[in-house]
Chain A
Amino acid sequence: MSGPLPVQEPAPIIGPGHTFETITDKISAVVLTRKTPRGWFVGFGIGFALLMLFLLAVTNLVFRGIGIWGVNIPVGWGFDIINFVWWIGIGHAGTLISAILLLFRQEWRTSINRFAEAMTLFAVACAGMYPLLHLGRPWLGYWLFPYPNTMAMWPQFRSPLMWDVFAVSTYATVSLLFWFVGLIPDLATLRDRSTNRVRRVVYGLLSMGWRGSATHWHRYETAYLLLAGLSTPLVLSVHTIVSFDFSVGVIPGWHATIFPPYFVAGAIYAGFAMVLTLAIPLRKFYGLEDFITDRHLDYMGRVTLATGLIVAYGYMMEAFMAWYSGNTYEAYMMYNRFVGPYAPMYWALIVCNVLAPQALWFSKVRGSVPGLFIVAMFVNVGMWLERYVIIVVSLSRDFLPSSWGMYSGTIWDWSTFIGTIGLFLTLMFLFIRFLPMISIFEMRTLLPEAEVKEELA
């Protein structure tokens, strides 16, 4: 991934003049002492309102059936799986930042990994809804888990959907563990810093009595490193498996060997875009420019660009294979994307995912906060469109023209989608309010004071 490239005068990864206590106080203050800003209530309110919309949509869905969505034959999957893949993809950046960059010893990760991980968890939570909701009989969703039952039936482990069940639940669990382990010392800090009895008890219990003992730190570091080591292949496997949902199928536009790498890259791409989308307002809002510095933004810009290029390559290969394979069906699939009824979607996707990020070649753009934010927004939309193109456009016209059909989302598709965004926001705001959004103890290690003198080392 993009390490600190030789740029003249790299901006520092932590603002000047900070000491252990300033870091500690500044970050924990957000949770403990600072008065909750009005903006927080507004944001949380919006998120919560959307969450209610989600509940409404789901209730309607359960009682009336997925006929309320736009899905049909041939297009059996629509917003449901699009959103699923979109959210899962977004999740990936968190793990990447916290695990992979950790292994690569990228110190700049420190100030963003905490809320990136939180983002992962919440994104996965949103994603996790869809495999259940998209069922015709959601109340039987538990049949996807292997447990001894009176029917003597088992799940069908050859199905990519089963792989999903395992991959996503594992991913969710491991991410949660990783996140929690990372939180323990900071929870201890909060415990020790908070004056209010209730909070001390709560944080006290959550921190499990962490007291920063060197022996503990010793094992802690090992465990944390091991988790990072495990998460790295895991995060790659998850989107690989998600891509199997399609590449295992026979449908032109689905059945492609390039999918795994191209999906993983896409996921990280989407993820970083989302991290930017969240980080930029956050640092502004809580004045954390010292911790999330322009250097961070610059690096994230680079990662976005890099992964964006991989994704673009993916698109190219799809087109190339369609032509090179000489297969009528593949060829038509591509032709259909270019000029078919959904062509607008496809070209919009190209603009968002291929053209827009090219701006990141210019350090000016990477340097400008609004510039980055706009590009990130483009990518968020683009990645959603990518899934739309892959799922809907491919399904709408497969082998037999007799069965071709069209798809478009209904108001309920949209409600569900926007609803999950509500869920995401709600969780995100709660997190910001009650937990340190930046890893305090890791920030401390970045200070020069943390350096042990040569002769002692």
Chain B
Amino acid sequence: MDTRDATPPSRGVPDAATIDLTAIRARLANGTGRQYWRSLDELAETDDFKRFLEAEFPREASVFDTVGRRQFLKLMGASLALAGLNGCTKQPTEKVVPYVKQPELVVPGQPLFFATAAPLGGFGTGVLAESHMGRPTKIEGNPDHPASLGATDALLQASVLQLYDPDRAQVVRNIREIRPWNAFLDTAAAVMEKHRPTQGARVRFLTETVTSPTLRNQIESLLKQIPKARWHQYSPVGRDQVRAGAILAFGEPVDAVYHLDKADVIVSLDADVLGAGAGSLRYARDFAGRRRVLDEHGAMNRLYVVESSPSVTGSAADHRLPIRAVDAEAGARQLAAALGLDVGIPSEPSLPAEWVKAVAEDLQQHRGAGLVVAGDFQPPEVHALAHAINEALGNVGQTVAYVEPVAASVDQAQSLRELVADMEAGQVDVLVMLGGNPVYDAPADLRFAAALQKVGLRIRLGLYDDETSEVCHWHIPEAHYLESWGDLRAYDGTVTIVQPLIAPLYGGKTAHELLAAFTDKPERTAYEIVREYWKGRAGAVDFDLWWRKALHDGFVPDSAAPGKAVSVQSLAFAKKAPAAPKAGTLEVVFRPDPTVYDGRFANVGWLQELPKPITTLTWDNVAMLSPATAERLELSNEDVVEVRFDGRTVRAPVWIVPGHARDSVTVHLGYGRTRVGRIGNGAGFNAYALRTTGAPWAGLGAQLRKTGERYWLASTQNHFSLEGRDLVRSTTLDELTHHPHAAHEGGGHGGQDLSFYPAHEYKGYAWGMAIDLGSCIGCNACTIACQAENNIAVVGKDQVWRGREMHWIRVDRYYEGDLDTPLIHAQPLPCMQCENAPCEVVCPVNATNHSTEGLNQMVYNRCVGTKYCSNNCPYKVRRFNFYRYSNWDVEALKLVANPDVTVRSRGVMEKCTYCVQRINAARIQAEKEDREIRDGDVVTACQQVCPTEAIVFGNVNDPESRVAKLRANPRTYALLGAELNTRPRTTYLAGVRNPNPALAQKEGKA
């Protein structure tokens, strides 16, 4: 899109009166039965209308600014060429460029999959990367890897786009000059030359959390040569608290590995077990495995969550209680005490007594099958208490196991503090930074950037020439993990050898190679280094065989961290009652962003545009408040506030989140990047500016000041209430056992005989999808997996704001219950592939019609773009290319495209195809083998990625197929099926929750 004449969005919205929450409460109170609603604007009916009228001029923003004139001419050419009658357009002559010597494996047109591991926060997740003729195009989970079991999350899905990111650093840079790699090698040699005599006393290395055995070994051996040099570690989203908690409880650092598949009752103390963290995929899978109720005899686990701001885990909970993050400790104490542990009770409890009582009883009744999880970002005390409770309930060894720390174990905050101290003291001549971005994300109180100036030689290895590199003498482009050799350990310690799928696109180097530069063998490649390290340790007779197997399987057999028998030393720390945290005063809570994480993904368009779970905001971070607090401070959505904490301030737009804890404001880290690339620069505000070593995750005493400014936010959903429409159906285990067909009431099937016309018969395959709302936790992985698989374009904040986002599968969210503690429902919505599709009938050119297998076919090259189909789609799942959204100008971005899916052009409609490219591939394979397509041969992208296996796809004509069985399940219902007789092929299974009877009737739901 040409954007240069775009008028800036009018921020000057007529100050929409602050949302009248009292009124809302009233409405909800009077409401009868189950009331769903979506968001506050909706309830308060503050109308966006004014805003829209305000914006009288069109606003266009695009992701990559394209050359207007060139595009103009190009389009002109196109339109002229096409202006003739069809076929009168001649194709340009193209070239075929075969290999000179064709690699054995490679057959052009046939994708290959390689097992490797993707790093996040230092930990690895086993993945299979799909490669088309040497181009990685898609990441899938590795079914054999314990941390993945075939699933992946949004961040991993998007990592492949980051590989091609044209804004990645592409050259070795010294000050302002571009230098060859060798020049750096010389520098490195010189450094060693200079500092060996002093044993490197003035040399420092700074890394993020390191789990890579090889890297660890390299650093250690390097430190042997220069013993006085120091190795510091810091990652903004570290696990200091977890570590400290373990030390507090057991006197030594250990990692806890949970077994949710064994847990009947799970209590989460502000822990987003299912949504974030190294093990979350596995945990989500295990968790969902215990909730899939397919008949009235089904049993399921129960999840209690106390947390400050609603998380994926919280939204999946049976009972969720919003409390300030700082109050979690009090809660933990209450629970511990209720379970008979000898701990001091806080003067003012943070959890209602009956709630604690019920939970405690529940845990008691499930000794050995219960689990209390403390959030990674909770202070050590909470962790220690959780450990104590689990031990007391005999859960250790059952639902939780303790293992040797997987990562190199240090107190990172302390480590960084020391480094900064040394730097300020001028004791550091050389600082080598491997990854990370401390200038941007180090705690504000350390003033890292200032201290850094005192260092003589600053060397940085990084994916981007970013804020940190800017102030470094040397910047070395880092190789993306898909370009690297290396090794990583998973949450449970399992090792995966990381193998590259493509030679570094931008001449990137791995940390291994950078460190090698400081050794006497500077030329060694990462491959040599890693392989050599393992040669020593594999202890295999035939190392090559071992190596090949390890690479092929994607993990090193029984490399999981060894278990560790530990027991709680004493609860001394918890004996005396704690000073009750000043209630009433506002706390600020820092959390990694669900899409851009700690900021490292800020330049990945897919993630920026991925609606964040719960808020469905894109392209920005916000200050999240509870309705009550907003009410008190007279704030409403999009008000810009000044958040003051500990003497520092940032300006942030407000977003009111039902179910958020009172007196608490949550800000996500990772935004406000200034030097990352065209996508990430300037998006959101930088919350690190508030974050100190004293309060890394939460702190009391924050203040909000309304500035009177407004800032427009692009959320994909923020509209009005369901008005009692039964679109999302959910039931309780109890209800289900008594009358299993509850979900049907209000019509589900039927209707088809009401048709005016005889129905078409589908004799062969009949593709269908079943989505289990009981399993879906709303993590959004499906949305981005679909984006990656189907070449879906990124459109930019402004276009999202206009309602032009392109996602083929979206995750709708609805709230149920009251404002402060609502239940949150997630509903993934792909194309329903209706058999009586309203969209098809209205297409004048047959661009969308029905296949003999019941697919609602959308043919881009036939589409003329009337948009009638979208208007007539009751589910509004169709997406239109209002501009030329697909990027045809940036070479690198062409490489990420899936060659089996057409890249859509301007002016055509598109939508979910049930991944027809995968269906066709399976069919062709089956036909060549002269057999039927088996159940499971076709796996759609959304199904494949789903951590909880909520999506099942297959042939509904085959009664044995999983999907057919699910469609027969009493929980199944067709969205709008009864109202419109669309006969959707995508059906839902009503959600099921398992509330504790003791609490249920109190909350007056179910």
> Which residues of A in the span 248-297 have a Cβ within 8 Å of any Cβ on B?
248-251
A399: nearest residue on chain B (CB-CB)? Answer: B874
Q: Mark A50-72, 1 if CB is under 8 A from B, else 0.
A: 00000000000011111111111
Q: Are A73 and B876 also in contact (CB < 8 A) when A250-B980, A401-B38 are? A: yes
Determine the main DSSP class of B at the interface with A: loop
B874 x A158 contact (CB < 8 A): no
A328 x B724 contact (CB < 8 A): yes
B870 x A139 contact (CB < 8 A): no
Residues of B within 8 A of A149 (CB): 85-87
Listed residue (A64, A143, A149, A154) with the most chain B CB atoms within 10 angstroms of its CB:
A64
- Tell me the minimal C-beta distance from A228 to chain B in angstroms: 31
Q: Mark A131-151, 1 if CB is under 8 A from B, else 0.
A: 000111111111110000111
B876 x A400 contact (CB < 8 A): yes
Determine the main DSSP class of A at the interface with B: loop
Listed residue (A67, A327, A341, A402) with the most chain B CB atoms within 10 angstroms of its CB:
A402
Residues of B within 8 A of A327 (CB): 979
A155 x B87 contact (CB < 8 A): no
Q: Which one of B86, B719, B867, B871 lies within 8 Å of A402 (CB-CB)?
A: B719
Instruction: Give Cα A406 to B321, complex, Å.
Output: 34
- Interface bin, chain A: 35 or more
B73: nearest residue on chain A (CB-CB)? Answer: A63
A411 in the interface (beta carbon within 8 A): yes
Binds A, one of B279-287, B299-307, B515-523, B843-851: B843-851
B880 x A73 contact (CB < 8 A): yes
> Which residues of B in the span 828-849 have a Cβ within 8 Å of any Cβ on A?
829, 838, 841-846, 849
Binds B, one of A88-96, A159-167, A218-226: A159-167
B929 in the interface (beta carbon within 8 A): no
B867 x A67 contact (CB < 8 A): no
Instruction: Give Cα A420 to B792, complex, Å.
Output: 36
Q: Which one of B58, B875, B907 lies within 8 Å of A400 (CB-CB)?
A: B875
Instruction: Give Cα A410 to B864, complex, Å.
Output: 22
- Tell me the minimal C-beta distance from B55 to chain A in angstroms: 7
A139 x B83 contact (CB < 8 A): yes
Residues of B within 8 A of A250 (CB): 838, 872, 874, 980
Q: Are A63 and B883 also in contact (CB < 8 A) when A143-B845, A159-B843, A401-B721 are? A: no
B79 in the interface (beta carbon within 8 A): yes
Listed residue (A62, A151, A403) with the most chain B CB atoms within 10 angstroms of its CB:
A403
Residues of B within 8 A of A136 (CB): 863-867, 880-882, 906-909
Instruction: Give Cα A69 to B865, complex, Å.
Output: 14
Instruction: Give Cα A161 to B908, complex, Å.
Output: 17
Q: Mark A366-394, 1 if CB is under 8 A from B, else 0.
A: 00000000000000000000000000000
Instruction: Give Cα A29 to B864, complex, Å.
Output: 49
A342 x B881 contact (CB < 8 A): no
Listed residue (A63, A67, A150, A154) with the most chain B CB atoms within 10 angstroms of its CB:
A67
- Tell me the minimal C-beta distance from A390 to chain B in angstroms: 12
B572 in the interface (beta carbon within 8 A): no
B875 x A73 contact (CB < 8 A): no
A135 x B865 contact (CB < 8 A): yes
Residues of B within 8 A of A400 (CB): 727, 812, 829, 874-876
> Which residues of A in the span 105-134 have a Cβ within 8 Å of any Cβ on B?
134
B722 x A161 contact (CB < 8 A): no
> Which residues of B in the span 30-75 have a Cβ within 8 Å of any Cβ on A?
38, 42, 47-49, 52-53, 55-58, 60, 72, 75
B719 x A401 contact (CB < 8 A): yes
A248 x B865 contact (CB < 8 A): no
A406 x B843 contact (CB < 8 A): no
- Tell me the minimal C-beta distance from B825 to chain A in angstroms: 11
A413: nearest residue on chain B (CB-CB)? Answer: B58
The count of residues in chain B whose C-beta lies closer than 8 Å to any C-beta of chain A is 78
Instruction: Give Cα A156 to B881, complex, Å.
Output: 22
B844 x A159 contact (CB < 8 A): yes
A328 x B844 contact (CB < 8 A): no
Residues of A within 8 A of B880 (CB): 73, 76, 136
B720 x A404 contact (CB < 8 A): yes
Residues of B within 8 A of A412 (CB): 58
Q: Which one of B719, B849, B907 lies within 8 Å of A137 (CB-CB)?
A: B907
A161 x B883 contact (CB < 8 A): no
B1 x A64 contact (CB < 8 A): yes
B804 x A67 contact (CB < 8 A): yes
A407 in the interface (beta carbon within 8 A): yes
Residues of B within 8 A of A159 (CB): 841-844, 868
A332 in the interface (beta carbon within 8 A): yes
A339: nearest residue on chain B (CB-CB)? Answer: B45
Residues of A within 8 A of B841 (CB): 158-159, 248
A137: nearest residue on chain B (CB-CB)? Answer: B907
Residues of B within 8 A of A76 (CB): 867-868, 870-871, 880
A397 in the interface (beta carbon within 8 A): yes
- Tell me the minimal C-beta distance from A271 to chain B in angstroms: 26
B716: nearest residue on chain A (CB-CB)? Answer: A402
Instruction: Give Cα A59 to B57, complex, Å.
Output: 18
A398 x B82 contact (CB < 8 A): no
B72 x A63 contact (CB < 8 A): yes
A204 in the interface (beta carbon within 8 A): no
B79 x A150 contact (CB < 8 A): no
Residues of A within 8 A of B362 (CB): none
- Tell me the minimal C-beta distance from A71 to chain B in angstroms: 7
A33 in the interface (beta carbon within 8 A): no
Residues of B within 8 A of A62 (CB): 75, 79
Instruction: Give Cα A144 to B865, complex, Å.
Output: 12
B879 x A73 contact (CB < 8 A): yes
Instruction: Give Cα A329 to B865, complex, Å.
Output: 27
List 19 other contacts, CB 8 Å, given A66-B907, A137-B906: A64-B1, A65-B884, A67-B883, A68-B60, A73-B803, A73-B804, A74-B871, A76-B867, A135-B865, A136-B880, A155-B844, A155-B845, A159-B843, A161-B843, A248-B842, A341-B47, A399-B876, A400-B727, A410-B56
Interface residues of chain A, those whose CB is within 8 Å of chain B, are 62-77, 134-144, 149-151, 153-156, 158-162, 165, 248-251, 327-329, 332, 341-342, 395, 397-408, 410-412
8 pairs of residues in contact across A and B, judged by CB atoms under 8 Å: A76-B880, A136-B906, A143-B862, A149-B86, A327-B979, A402-B814, A402-B829, A408-B55
Closest 3 CB pairs of A and B: A136-B865, A136-B907, A76-B867
